[in-house]
């Protein structure tokens, strides 16, 4: 089924703008909006003790920043795919790159609903299979959408996987810096 | 028979055998440690297997037993091939191979018995240190002796990395372990207080930099172009990255001592140098990626190559995460948490173990004279087990590390710590179960590999060692 949908997307007519505003944009809204409700009404639970509730302004600010970061991440990833494709998939266009990001990020953005219940353990349990699915989608979508052969697709998939996980880690680092500078939990530093 | 026209690989075969034994011993110890963290009764009140003794046993068995044997084995193998000459002294090579096993075995056994100098990754007491130093210098004599008698003019880049490994580790090991013995099992270190800490982490991080990185890059630079059947993409980039790497690494030790009583400027220098270190690390990664391009079909046909490709991803990941952890405001959260342990294993499992597995899968059929591996299918299963294992391992520890980091520092409106130590311990239990699961997957992959290699050996009709003739040097490249 997944293979079929990817093929269907590859054969359809659309412009990057249509794809983005008709589809991805709305999906990208899911995580920040859920995060806002989760942070403000439930609070982050670390596993023990009361959840850490954030004030209204702080929750809104974090949600907006999160939204902007996701949008930026989306575009940067698309451009990176286009850049990488010069080596791995010479026939790919920017539009195809957008299609790949859309396919790969769809489960993750839908999984963003998990932010409604912000518990670290819950996130690990729910998001791990979702990330595994996205990992699979990287390898399944690249050969079809970027019009390259299977073997090159695997190589490109590895590179993209490395890029995305590095971006993920830097998000962790940026969050840590934010916490230390007074955004989020009340830390004695 | 004129032996000089053949390479000599018997010490390599022995060392690869030892590598796999140490992998099983060291990783089993890791899995046992991980189990003790969730089931503390597993130490059965036996002093030798309590967490405090088993932990340095694990780190030394995997780093020096597994990593060290693999490095010496591949150095012996590749230095001959890249110099077109037999090992400088095959007898001394055997002394190194056996001496290393005895040194590490006695060392880790003494750790279980409670003899320790307490310096992390340099826990062995002075008699073992002296023995290890002698073996290491002999390793240097064999290696540089072979280089000096080489028949081919250029020195291939893998040898630069192995050479740096040998020289720098000798220097670090000797300087950090300087001590005045007062009995056969105990000695006073010559450094004290903050100086001791600075020297220790100058050693500690360069053990990471030169043992777990430079050496393995040497292995990598030999194996990857061979597997891909293509030359290194940019030879010049590899050499520039080498010098940048050597120069930068040596400064970064104090990032292990952020917010301690060492001078502030030292922490800052370490921070800045750690960030700069991304450049040579990623230059190497880029070089690797470009070397692989073109060898597209190899991933499907060569199971070892999969491991090497993935090792590069984790190399990139851990050399990005490391500099990030060196930033003070990240370190204040990550230090004293599982985040560090996760970083360690994304490097140790994802990078070191993967590149070693890939290289050994590549070398063993050649060394035992088989046409190929006994089972590619088993190797593929190993690949997926290992990949899932390391991912589960590091994801669990990221989550646990972040939770611990916040809980360590969180304060309430009165400025009191919000969480007690027990709260924090309880929170980490589910993640530690997850890490145990990841570790067991990784370990079972290594067991499959050992079986596969054994069957490959049993399948081959050759008597060991297989004799390989030294090819003629390409005209124009003679020395
Ligand atoms: C099956 C695989 C493995 C498992 C289950 C495992 C498990 C563990 C555990 C439970 C610890 C103690 C963490 C703590 O104190 O909280 C540890 C520490 C460590 N392990 Fe492993 N390990 C494995 C493989 C390896 C390998 C292959 C290497 C190196 C090549 C390695 C290097 C280390 C190091 C350096 C530390 C000390 C970390 C620190 O001080 O921050 N491990 N490991
Ligand atoms: C650019 C490269 C790297 C940098 C700048 C770096 C930096 C760091 C930092 C800042 C820490 C935490 C120190 C602390 O809070 O105590 C750390 C820990 C550690 N890293 Fe890395 N890292 C790098 C690459 C690697 C690689 C490739 C490996 C290996 C396989 C590795 C193995 C370790 C180990 C074993 C520790 C734990 C040391 C301990 O026992 O406390 N690192 N590293």
- Which residues of chain B from 157 to 216 reach within 8 Å of chain A, CB to CB? none
Percent of chain B with pLDDT over 90: 88
Does the annotation flag B258 for ligand binding?
no
Report the share of chain A in percent with pLDDT over 90.
61
pTM of the model: 0.95
Contacts of B410 in chain A (CB under 8 A): 52, 185-188
Given pLDDT bands bounded at 50, 70 and 90, which one contains residue B1? low
Cβ atoms within 10 Å of A25's Cβ, excluding its own: 12
Residue B473, domain member (yes or no): no
A28 located within any domain: yes
Residue A188 maps to a domain: no
pLDDT band at B431 (very low <50, low <70, confident <90, very high): very high
Residue B475 falls inside a structural domain: no
* Assigned domain for B357 exists: yes
Mean pLDDT taken over chain A: 90
pLDDT of B195 over the 80 cut: yes
On whether residue B26 sits in a domain, the answer given is yes
* Contact predicate B452/B375, CB 8 Å: yes
Instruction: Using the mean position of ligand 2's atoms as its centre, give its distance from the Cα of residue B202 in Å.
Output: 12
Is residue A185 one of the residues assigned to a domain? no
The mean pLDDT value for B225-250 works out to: 92
- CA distances (Å), origin B9, targets B5, B90, B163, B305, B325: 13, 9, 20, 22, 41
Q: Could you tell me which residue, B288 or B271, shows the higher pLDDT?
A: B271
pLDDT value at position A4?
A: 83
Is it the case that residue B464 has pLDDT exceeding 80?
no
Owning domain of residue B373: 3-462
**Does B469 reside within a domain?**
no
* B345 is annotated as contributing to ligand binding: yes
> What ipTM, to 2 d.p.?
0.92
Work out how many domains chain A is built from and give that number.
1
In the predicted structure, residue A1 carries a pLDDT above the cut 80 = no
The answer to whether the CB atoms of A158 and B309 lie below 8 A apart is: yes
Is residue B294 domain-resident? Answer: yes
Q: Identify whether A186 is part of a domain.
A: no
Contact status, residue A134 vs residue A104, Cβ threshold 8 Å? yes
Residue B478 lies in a domain: no
Nearest CA in chain B to A151: B296
- Which CATH number belongs to the domain containing residue B92 in this structure? 1.20.210.10
Q: For residue A189, tell me if it sits in a domain.
A: no
Q: What is the residue range of A50's domain? A: 2-180
For B421, the enclosing helix (H) or strand (E) is: helix B421-459
Long-range contacts of A19-25 (CB under 8 A, 24+ apart): A19/A95, A19/A98, A19/A99, A19/A102, A20/A98, A20/A102, A23/A102, A24/A74, A24/A101, A24/A102, A24/A105, A24/A109
User: Is A49's pLDDT higher than 90?
Assistant: no
């Amino acid at each position: 089924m997944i293979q079929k949908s990817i093929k269907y997307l590859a054969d359809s007519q659309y412009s990057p703008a249509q794809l983005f505003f008709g589809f991805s944009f709305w999906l990208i809204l899911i995580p920040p909006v859920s995060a806002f409700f989760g942070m403000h009404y439930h609070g982050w639970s670390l596993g023990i003790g009361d959840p850490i509730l954030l004030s209204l302004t702080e929750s809104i600010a974090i949600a907006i920043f999160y939204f902007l970061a996701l949008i930026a991440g989306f575009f940067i990833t698309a451009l990176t795919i286009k850049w990488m494709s010069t080596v791995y998939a010479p026939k790919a266009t920017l539009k195809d790159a957008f299609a790949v990001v859309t396919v790969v990020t769809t489960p993750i953005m839908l999984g963003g609903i998990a932010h409604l219940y912000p518990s670290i353990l819950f996130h690990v349990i729910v998001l791990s299979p979702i990330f595994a699915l996205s990992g699979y989608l990287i390898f399944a979508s690249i050969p079809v959408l970027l019009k390259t052969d299977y073997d090159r697709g695997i190589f490109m998939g590895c590179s993209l996987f490395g890029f995305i996980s590095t971006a993920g880690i830097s998000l962790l680092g940026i969050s840590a810096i934010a916490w230390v500078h007074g955004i989020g939990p009340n830390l004695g530093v | 028979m004129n032996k000089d026209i053949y390479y000599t690989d018997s010490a390599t075969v022995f060392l690869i055998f030892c590598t796999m034994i140490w992998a099983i011993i060291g990783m089993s110890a890791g899995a046992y440690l991980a189990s003790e963290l969730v089931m503390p009764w597993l130490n059965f009140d036996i002093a030798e297997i309590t967490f405090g003794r088993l932990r340095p046993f694990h780190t030394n068995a995997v780093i020096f037993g597994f990593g060290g044997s693999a490095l010496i084995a591949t150095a012996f193998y590749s230095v001959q091939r890249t110099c077109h000459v037999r090992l400088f002294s095959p007898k001394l090579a055997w002394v190194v191979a056996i001496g290393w096993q005895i040194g590490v075995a006695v060392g880790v056994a003494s750790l279980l018995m409670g003899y320790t100098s307490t310096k992390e990754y340099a826990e062995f007491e002075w008699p073992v240190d002296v023995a290890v130093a002698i073996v290491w210098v002999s390793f240097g004599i064999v290696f540089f002796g072979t280089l000096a008698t080489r028949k081919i003019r250029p020195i291939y880049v893998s040898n630069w990395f192995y050479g740096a490994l040998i020289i720098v580790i000798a220097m670090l090991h000797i300087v950090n372990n300087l001590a005045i013995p007062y009995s056969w099992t105990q000695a006073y270190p010559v450094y004290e207080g903050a100086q001791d800490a600075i020297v220790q982490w100058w050693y500690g991080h360069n053990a990471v930099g030169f043992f777990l990185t430079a050496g393995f890059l040497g292995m990598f630079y030999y194996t990857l172009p061979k597997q891909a059947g293509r030359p290194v993409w940019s030879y010049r980039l590899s050499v520039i990255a080498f010098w940048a790497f050597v120069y930068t690494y040596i400064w970064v030790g104090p990032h292990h001592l952020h917010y301690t009583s060492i001078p502030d400027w030292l922490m800052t220098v370490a921070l800045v140098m750690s960030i700069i270190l991304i450049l040579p690390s990623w230059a190497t990664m880029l070089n690797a990626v470009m070397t692989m391009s073109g060898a597209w079909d190899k991933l499907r046909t060569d199971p070892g190559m999969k491991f090497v490709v993935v090792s590069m991803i984790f190399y990139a990941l851990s050399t990005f995460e490391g500099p990030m952890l060196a930033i003070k405001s990240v370190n204040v959260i990550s230090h004293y948490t599982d985040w560090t342990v996760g970083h360690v294993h994304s490097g140790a499992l994802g990078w070191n173990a993967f590149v070693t597995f890939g290289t050994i899968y590549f070398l063993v059929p050649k060394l035992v004279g088989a046409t190929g591996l006994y089972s590619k299918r088993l190797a593929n299963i190993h690949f997926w087990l290992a990949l899932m294992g390391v991912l589960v391992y590091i994801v669990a520890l990221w989550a646990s590390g972040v939770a611990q980091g916040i809980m360590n520092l969180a304060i309430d409106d009165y400025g009191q710590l919000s969480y007690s130590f027990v709260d924090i311990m309880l929170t980490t239990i589910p993640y530690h179960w997850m890490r145990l699961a990841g570790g067991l997957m990784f370990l079972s992959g290594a067991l499959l590999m050992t079986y596969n290699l054994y069957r490959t050996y049993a399948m081959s009709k050759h008597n060991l060692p297989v004799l390989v003739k030294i090819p003629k040097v390409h005209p124009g490249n003679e020395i």
